[in-house]
Amino acid sequence: MDNLARLKLRTEEVDEAVLQDCLESAKAAIMARRYPFQEWPEELESRYLDLQFRCALDLYNRIGAEGQLSHGENSISRSWESSWISESLLQEVTPLVGRIT
């Protein structure tokens, strides 16, 4: 099952474009973390596909409250990290860097 199908299963979103956008944003965030000092390849490594799904789901769940730092209502409080994707998810990415010799 591909990530788009997984997102459809987990969400009740009928607009595929919204889900695809979340997947593309998640991919860009992973690639930026994976390749901090070089050009990115076209495709995401297969080992990061599940992480892409989880990041996209994280982005989807924050739609309408992007960048929220704090919120409290009816005994429920939310406080998110500075990025739109949880730092704990992005910490799973191993940066690939080289060295100058």
User: Is 101 a domain residue?
Assistant: no
- Number of domains composing the chain: 1
Please determine, for residue 78, whether its predicted confidence score (pLDDT) is greater than 80.
no
pTM exceeds 0.75 for this model: yes
User: Is 98 a domain residue?
Assistant: no
Query: Strand (E) positions, the chain?
Result: 71-73, 76-78
Provide, rounded to the nearest whole percent, the portion of the chain with pLDDT above 90.
55
DSSP three-state, residue 71: strand
User: Is 96 a domain residue?
Assistant: no
Distance CA 11, CA 88 (A): 22
Instruction: Please report, for residues 15, 57, 58, 69, the alpha-carbon distance to residue 11 in angstroms, rounded to integers and kept in the order given.
Output: 11, 8, 11, 24
User: Is 97 a domain residue?
Assistant: no
Domain, as residue range, for 67: 3-90
User: Is 27 a domain residue?
Assistant: yes
User: Is 77 a domain residue?
Assistant: yes
User: Is 95 a domain residue?
Assistant: no
User: Is 76 a domain residue?
Assistant: yes
Instruction: Please report, for residues 51, 66, 82, the alpha-carbon distance to residue 40 in angstroms, rounded to integers and kept in the order given.
Output: 17, 26, 24
